[in-house]
């Protein structure tokens, strides 16, 4: 684990729940991102440990963006602590309307408990959280409303899903969201201008080699720009892998129905693949098992590594 300012504690989670970043302060503790709804008991337990806030109150929840693995604990934590939730400006209307398509919920086969946001975070704003100043940086791409949070003093970047050590969160292909891939590149350009020593990503351990991560991310953008169908394929694989982590097992017999019913598969199939759902389902099984992300066991597709907790 990389040395971070003492106010900053990262609960490194997994692929179903995004990391929770706790910014501790006597003036009020702030939590960045709350994990997936299935993991709420673990999120609450982690937060209540001495490495978290123990029995102290939580002053505020903020989200880097409002996908299910980042905001799935908002409602439960709000209930427990009675604290306000602030979301990025671009996410606020989707959250207010609980737009299942924009939030990638039903549309992607995912779920979250509905919550109400009391505050809005604007790009360019500065906030004092955990006694440190954090600048909100617009980070559209994976999510068009996403923000990163940068502390210039300690050169720490909370990057959400805009930049991981190896890549970034899945990006919608051009026919679905024309601006997403160009925005991903522009976001990398904007982040590259920051003097970053430590990145706290939305998934995976905090890391130091910012330049290498950027280079890998640019390489991935380039590959997707060259072949949008590859991006569409990649996106469906990622979303199905997420669903397997959520459900832990999906009978092969149900997979065709899932692919035929869930909006994202339907939309992508109509735009890119034009295959009968059974064929698309079989293709995804083949791809996920070949990549080692899943295996077939007793007629069901199961994730290769079931997320702990």
Minimum Å gap between C-beta 77 and Zn ion is 18
Q: Which residue in the set 14, 33, 161, 246 belongs to the binding site for Zn ion (CB under 5 A)?
A: 161
Nearest residue to the partner Zn ion, using Cβ = 67
Q: Which residue in the set 13, 38, 60, 67 belongs to the binding site for Zn ion (CB under 5 A)?
A: 67
Based on the shown chain and the rule CB under 5 A, indicate whether residue 169 belongs to the binding site for Zn ion. Answer: yes
Minimum Å gap between C-beta 297 and Zn ion is 28
DSSP annotation of 174: T
Minimum Å gap between C-beta 55 and Zn ion is 31
207 and 199 Cβ atoms separated by less than 8 Å: yes
Q: Where are the beta strands (DSSP E) in the chain?
A: 8-11, 20-23, 29-32, 58-62, 85-88, 119-121, 126-129, 132-138, 147-151, 156-160, 198-201, 250-251, 294-297, 300-303
Stretch binding Zn ion (CB under 5 A), from 66-74, 230-238, 240-248, 283-291: 66-74
Q: How far is Cα 111 from Cα 245, in angstroms, rounded to an integer?
A: 13
All residues at 6 or more sequence positions from 162 whose CB lies less than 8 Å from its CB, including other chains: 64, 139, 141, 142, 146, 148, 168, 169, 187, 191
All residues at 6 or more sequence positions from 193 whose CB lies less than 8 Å from its CB, including other chains: none
Consecutive H or E run containing 69 = helix 68-71
Minimum Å gap between C-beta 140 and Zn ion is 12
Minimum Å gap between C-beta 293 and Zn ion is 18
Q: Is 53 or 71 the residue whose CB approaches Zn ion more closely? A: 71
Stretch binding Zn ion (CB under 5 A), from 64-72, 89-97, 173-181, 229-237: 64-72
Stretch binding Zn ion (CB under 5 A), from 169-177, 206-214, 231-239, 260-268: 169-177
Binding site for Zn ion (CB under 5 A): 67, 161, 169
């Amino acid at each position: 684990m990389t040395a971070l300012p003492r106010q900053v504690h990262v609960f490194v989670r997994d692929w179903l729940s995004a990391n929770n970043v706790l910014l501790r302060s006597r003036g009020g503790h702030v939590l960045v991102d709350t994990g997936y709804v299935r993991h709420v008991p673990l999120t609450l337990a982690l937060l209540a440990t001495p490495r978290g806030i123990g029995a102290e109150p939580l002053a505020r929840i903020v989200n880097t963006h409002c996908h299910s693995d980042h905001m799935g604990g908002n409602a439960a934590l709000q209930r427990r602590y009675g604290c306000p939730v602030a979301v990025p400006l671009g996410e606020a209307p989707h959250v207010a309307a609980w737009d299942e398509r924009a939030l990638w919920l039903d549309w992607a086969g995912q779920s979250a408990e509905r919550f109400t946001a009391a505050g809005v975070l604007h790009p360019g704003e500065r906030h004092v959280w955990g006694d440190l100043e954090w600048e909100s940086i617009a980070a559209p791409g994976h999510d068009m409303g996403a923000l990163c949070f940068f502390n210039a003093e300690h050169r720490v970047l909370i990057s959400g899903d805009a930049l991981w050590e190896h890549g970034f969160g899945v990006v919608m292909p051009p026919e679905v969201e024309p601006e997403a891939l160009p925005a991903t590149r522009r976001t990398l350009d904007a982040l590259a201008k920051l003097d970053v020593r430590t990145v706290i990503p939305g998934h995976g351990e905090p890391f130091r080699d910012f330049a290498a991560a950027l280079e890998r991310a640019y390489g991935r953008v380039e590959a997707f720009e060259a072949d949008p169908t590859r991006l569409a394929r990649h996106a469906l694989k990622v979303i199905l892998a997420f669903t397997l982590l959520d459900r832990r097992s999906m009978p092969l017999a149900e997979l065709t129905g899932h692919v035929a019913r869930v909006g994202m598969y339907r939309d992508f199939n109509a735009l890119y693949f034009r295959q009968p759902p059974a064929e698309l389902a079989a293709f995804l099984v083949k791809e996920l098992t070949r990549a080692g992300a899943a295996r077939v066991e007793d007629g069901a597709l199961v994730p290769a590594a079931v997320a702990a907790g």
